[in-house]
Chains A and B, each alone.
Chain A
């Protein structure tokens, strides 16, 4: 379905632009605007003003009632408004973890009764930021408050779920991939098995999916943290459609070359299977957000 602007006049900073679904296609001239080649840089952009970095943890803004939480002690580590780190891979073979530039420092503190690994507050603006690894989705105000007070809620049982896997930079630094659905077995002895199958919220609705910026023909290195995968497949999705899929030789360490796809935003999915003797078939999906750019900016 396509949409066309009916009336779009900027009147004031707080105006609702009226529009309607008409089924009429946007003209080619306007469509070409966003198709232009882009230089990608995330440094100090306004987009980073809802993200906070404290040490190695990345937090995202979440709306909570003003009086829901109170500020506590100062943090030991400085907090900055800052985009999440992204893995930047270029066509020359380099791949590095880009920490991104600070927008500016903020007066962040702990929240009373809540561990700082879960959430922090900017005492100047009153904004609360939650750790996106602990809260991959926002369960909503009351539930989020309850989970914050309960130590973040349950985390995945690592003995009965696939291990974390990573994208690797040239210098050995790692970027944790988001884990999607899986079925994963555990022996109960005497040829008996239990297999846990988890159905997860789609990656597009999650906030813990890492970001990769890559030029066409860049090489991406993936480290799977389990032995002897029996199949590995890399797929790119965009707009609900699969645009590229490739079966790779199964290995713990997988390297693949970015296909020649148009510069745009994609989801990168890495599916890995394993088969233990006599066990049900296991598999897991890992995800990253992938920005394909014609040329990575100096940013």
Chain B
């Protein structure tokens, strides 16, 4: 199942008095630029007209894969400052696997351990955020795990990975991942669930291994973030459970993150953005790594 990405593109101009500029926005300070009120300033394809003294204008282009912000402020003395953010664009490289994903042979790194037995796991369903439907979350978690072991892809590549997994069902037991992101001692049960994590952490996986053989893997998704399971439900700031779960399960099965922006199609590409689904579909490099391990 490959979600069809509608390239929903929104372009927003906000024009406000600079004195009221606020919000928990980008931390980049203003860079003075040589522009006068009434002239046009551009950044990465966005443009704004430099506002009158004492005001600011913000232009934000939002696509399903991210966005770009250009903010221009004119100080009361007429000096002009620019703030730019290609934030979500950096993060927004988390896109659906493209044709490139089927031809790029670059492999994510190997964490150095592998499963030699069936990975049987359980879902701490009571930890599901109240905003989410437990059944839907369970379905997405199951999908995320099987995407790794089943080499889910849109390249037409057959599944040759020997790693296997089985879902043991719902179990009301906490994961071994602590609130601070650390790992409790292993308890022999592979759990997945939601819970508090340090700010800025989306998901945390604790992998236990011995002599290169995986023994246990627990995963926690940050309940302080917004999560979503349904397609086409107006996602704005939520993370798709399936998307993040597939990436985290990549860690469970011993794959490393990759950050080279030439390989954004990889499931193991390190950045994850809200409202993106590209990690659900394995790219050729992900599959080659899995096939070399299993």
Q: Are B29 and A84 in contact (CB under 8 A)?
A: yes
Q: Which of B194-215 contact A (CB under 8 A)?
A: 196-211, 215
What residues on B are CB-neighbors of A160 within 8 Å? 181-183
The 9 nearest A-B residue pairs measured at CB: A204-B87, A202-B91, A157-B182, A47-B30, A157-B180, A136-B200, A138-B24, A154-B179, A240-B89
- Tell whether, in the assembled complex, residue A3 and residue B261 are in contact, meaning their CB atoms are under 8 Å apart: no
Say yes or no: A134 contacts B199, CB within 8 Å.
Answer: yes
Task: Mark the stretch among B132-140, B156-164, B243-251, B280-288 that contacts chain A.
Answer: B243-251
The distance from the CB of B199 to the nearest CB of chain A, in whole angstroms, is: 5
Can you pick out 10 interface pairs between chain A and chain B where the beta carbons lie within 8 Å of each other? A3-B47, A10-B51, A36-B34, A61-B23, A153-B196, A183-B251, A197-B204, A203-B90, A205-B273, A281-B111
Tell whether, in the assembled complex, residue A198 and residue B199 are in contact, meaning their CB atoms are under 8 Å apart. Answer: no
The interface residues of chain A lying within 8 Å CB-to-CB of B59 are: 3, 19
Residues of B near A36 (CB, < 8 A) are 33-34
Interface of chain B residues 108 through 132 with chain A (CB within 8 A) = 109-113
Say how far B95's CB is from chain A's closest CB, in angstroms. 10
Whether A46 contacts B180 by the Cβ 8 Å rule is no
A2 touches B208 (CB 8 A): no
> What 1/0 mask marks residues of chain B from 40 to 67 whose CB sits below 8 Å from any chain A CB?
1111111111011011110101010010
Residue A188 interfacial (CB < 8 Å): yes
**Chain B residues closer than 8 Å to A191, beta-carbon distance:** 210-211
Question: Which residues of chain A from 44 to 88 have a CB within 8 Å of any chain B CB?
Answer: 45-51, 60-63, 83-84, 86
A45 adjacent to B30 (CB under 8 Å): yes
Within 8 A of A (CB), among B61-111: 61, 63, 66, 68, 73, 75, 79, 81-93, 109-111
Q: How far is the CA of A156 from the CA of B201 in the complex (A)?
A: 9
B29 near A192 (CB under 8 angstroms)? no
Known pairs A38-B32, A155-B180, A192-B209; list 4 more (Cβ under 8 Å): A26-B45, A33-B42, A209-B27, A283-B109
| B18: A residues at CB distance < 8 A | 46, 49
Which residues of A are found within 8 Å of B24, using beta-carbon distances? 60-63, 130, 138, 207
Q: How many Å lie between the Cα of A193 and that of B254 in the bound state?
A: 13
Known interface pairs A47-B81, A198-B204, A279-B112; A237-B261 also in contact (CB < 8 Å):
yes
B200 is contacted by which of A100, A200, A267 (Cβ under 8 Å)? Answer: A200
CB contacts (< 8 Å) of A206 on chain B: these are 200
Q: Which of A1, A39, A61 contacts B22 (CB 8 A)?
A: A61
A1 and B61 contact, Cβ closer than 8 Å, known pairs A181-B270, A199-B201, A199-B270: yes
How far, in Å, is A160 (CB) from chain B's closest CB? 4
Q: Known contacts A36-B33, A240-B86, A279-B112; is A192 also within 8 Å of B68 by CB?
A: no
Q: List the A side residues contacting B183 at CB < 8 Å.
A: 160, 186, 194, 196
> Does A166 interact with chain B (Cβ within 8 Å)?
no
B interface residue numbers (CB < 8 A to A) = 9, 11, 13-19, 21-35, 37-49, 51-52, 54-57, 59, 61, 63, 66, 68, 73, 75, 79, 81-93, 109-113, 177-183, 185-186, 196-211, 215, 224-225, 244, 247-248, 251, 254, 256-257, 259-262, 270-273
CA A130 to CA B46, docked complex, whole Å: 30
Question: Is A227 engaged at the interface, CB distance under 8 Å to the other chain?
Answer: no
Chain A stretch 164-219: residues in CB contact (< 8 A) with chain B: 180-181, 183, 186, 188, 190-209, 211
* Partner among B17, B82, B251 whose Cβ is within 8 Å of the Cβ of A14: B17
Contact of A3 with B210 in the complex, beta carbons under 8 Å: no
B43 contacts across to A, CB distance below 8 A: 34
Which residues of chain B are within 8 angstroms of A153 by Cβ–Cβ distance?
179, 196, 198-199, 224
In the complex the two chains form, is B181's CB within 8 Å of A156's CB? yes
Q: Point out the residues of chain B lying under 8 angstroms from A41, CB to CB.
A: 32
Asked if residues B247 and A280 are in contact (CB atoms below 8 Å), the reply is no
- Which of B40, B202, B244 has a CB less than 8 Å from the CB of A33? B40
CB distance from A151 to the nearest CB of B (A): 12
- Contacts A46-B75, A62-B24, A197-B207 given: A17-B49 contact, CB under 8 Å? yes
Chain B: CB-nearest residue to A8: B49
A residues 239-253 near B (Cβ < 8 Å) are: 239-242, 245
* Contact (A40, B27) CB under 8 Å given A46-B81, A198-B201, A271-B259: no
Q: Contact at B181–A198, with CB atoms within 8 Å?
A: yes
CB distance from A175 to the nearest CB of B (A): 14
Residues of chain A within 8 A (CB-CB) of B244 are 199
